[in-house]
Amino acid sequence: MAGEAVYTPPESLRGPVLAGVKWKLISQILREGTRLAIGILLARLLTPEEWGVASLALVIASLLTVLADVGLPVALVQRARIDELDRSTLFWTALGLGIAFTAVGIALSGLVADIFGEPELQSLFAVLSIGFTIAGLEKVPGSLLARDLAFRALELRQIAATTGGAAVALALALAGAGAWAIIGNSLTTTVVSCALLWVVTPWRPRLVFSWNSFRSLTGFGGTLLAAQLVTYVQMNADRLLIGRYVGAAGVGVYSFAYQLMFTPILNVTYPLQMVLFPVFATIQEDIERLNALWLRTKRLSVALMAPAFLLLLVVAPDLLPALFGSQWDDAIPILQVLCLAGVAYSLTTQNGILLLAQGKAGTNFWLTVFATVVVVASVAVGLHWGTLGVATGFAVAHWSLVLPYTWITTKAASIGFLLTLRATCSPLPFAAVATAAAYGVRLGLLETGTPTAARILIVAATLLSVYAGLAYVGSVPLRAEIREALDRLRSRRTRDVATAGSATEP
């Protein structure tokens, strides 16, 4: 078929994976550094109520974002063969849905404000809805770059978009715009991201549309959309319930803690998933190779995320007042409980992309439904005890899901359940011992009156050094991977020296 693009798996995936991880790491360091800086400034310039009403607008907008997405970009990446009809059909579909949901968002903005009893929410949500059309324009070029494993271009675009959004947010906050600073950040990031995607993408849509392509893509994408909608309920039910029954200030405190808790996930899991999904898709027919790579990435993900969550739990009472001010003290216990949920979440993060890469969207959907029922029921019960009760319900739900979630995934993917548990949970004992040591050190430093900044640094150094030492000594797979990484680094340095030396020879 003319214009058809076919996946051709490389002999070795080390190059694409390492390149993708490298650019994701560079991007995450720069982007999260920017977000942290702007977050600190906004937390000091905005009140919890202003943070809360902006968070409600973003949470509700994310529902329409999921609906407008309809799972088609992921279907475009997952498909082994695509042609120009597929690409153009998906582009016009995404753009049409974006325009439609912009209109829907503006029309519903008044109702949204009435439901939550926040008049300012109407204008915030209406303006934010413009982003649906802009996002519709970037779905296909972004998917095509991901399909080609062009992570460098994707990440440079993200860095520039994040920087632009941060600049606008800071300008609005300093001007006294309140919640509009957060909305301006989101909308500017979307605009810059879209513009840069079209600069780096050579593909341009044609004025063609194929119902056959549409039906073929929606067969996979439709099931994924259903899973995404259920996931939306799972991830946002806590804040929606707090917004409806507690108010904007409660949402502000909870959302603030949730955002801090989610930083390790954004820094590790999501970048890994964005790199690994197209890689997994290229080898979806080589089950043994796919499962081996999946187990390795799960262990790596937990090894990085679990100590990050536990470190945040230990230093939260010192970190939040020092960075963000005393107005966020109520977020400290909420953040600590959510960090426990984060450890549980890290144990299941790579499950969904394995199922999707194998085309098992139906299994992923029903697994998501099961998880959502558990989470929503737990946070609804916890609502009786306020925002801290909601956080506790969220944590209990995620820990109760680890075993059934893993069992269903491994059964569907034809991989050993106990093997997966051993690979996934192997870093946890080291993280637990390191956390206990860091907590003891913090108590001692409090007794001696050590300044806050020094206390945070010493506690962090204690936890990370104890964890790294225990993991290196006690885990053969992690030790082997560390040695392999060091060997690759030494080999690269040797090649660089040799290249430099040959370049200077006459």
Q: What is the mean pLDDT of residues 348-355?
A: 82
What span, in angstroms and rounded, lies between the C-alpha atoms of 161 and 166? 9
Q: Is the pLDDT of residue 73 over 70?
A: no
| Residue 289 CA from chain centroid, whole number | 25
For 96-119, write each residue's pLDDT tens digit. 989 999 999 999 999 999 988 889
Contact (CB, 8 A) for 470 and 310? no
Q: CB-side exposure of 189: number of CA atoms within 13 Å?
A: 17
Q: What is the mean pLDDT of residues 56-71?
A: 79
For 77-87, write each residue's pLDDT tens digit. 666 677 888 88
What span, in angstroms and rounded, lies between the C-alpha atoms of 192 and 165? 8
Q: What is the mean pLDDT of residues 236-240?
A: 89
Is residue 482 classed exposed, middle or buried when 0-12, 13-18 and 19+ CB atoms within 10 A define those classes? middle
Instruction: Please tell me the pTM assigned to this model.
Output: 0.74
Q: What is the mean pLDDT of residues 36-63?
A: 88
Q: What is the mean pLDDT of residues 163-177?
A: 93
Pick the more confident residue, 490 or 506: 490
- What letter would DSSP give residue 5? E
pLDDT of residue 229: 79
Highest mean pLDDT among 148-157, 297-306, 459-468, 474-483: 459-468
Q: Kindly state the helix (H) or strand (E) to which residue 82 belongs, with its residue range.
A: strand 81-82
Domain assignments of the chain as residue spans, ordered by start: 5-425, 426-500
Can you read off the two tokens belonging to residue 188? Answer: 């500017």
Query: What confidence tier does 291 reach under pLDDT thresholds 50, 70, 90?
Result: confident
Residue recorded with tokens 């199922």: 355
Q: Is the pLDDT of residue 139 over 80?
A: yes
The mean predicted confidence, pLDDT, of the chain is 83
Highest mean pLDDT among 27-41, 330-344, 401-415: 330-344
Beta bridge partners of 81: 6
Q: Is the pLDDT of residue 42 over 50?
A: yes
What span, in angstroms and rounded, lies between the C-alpha atoms of 323 and 41? 9
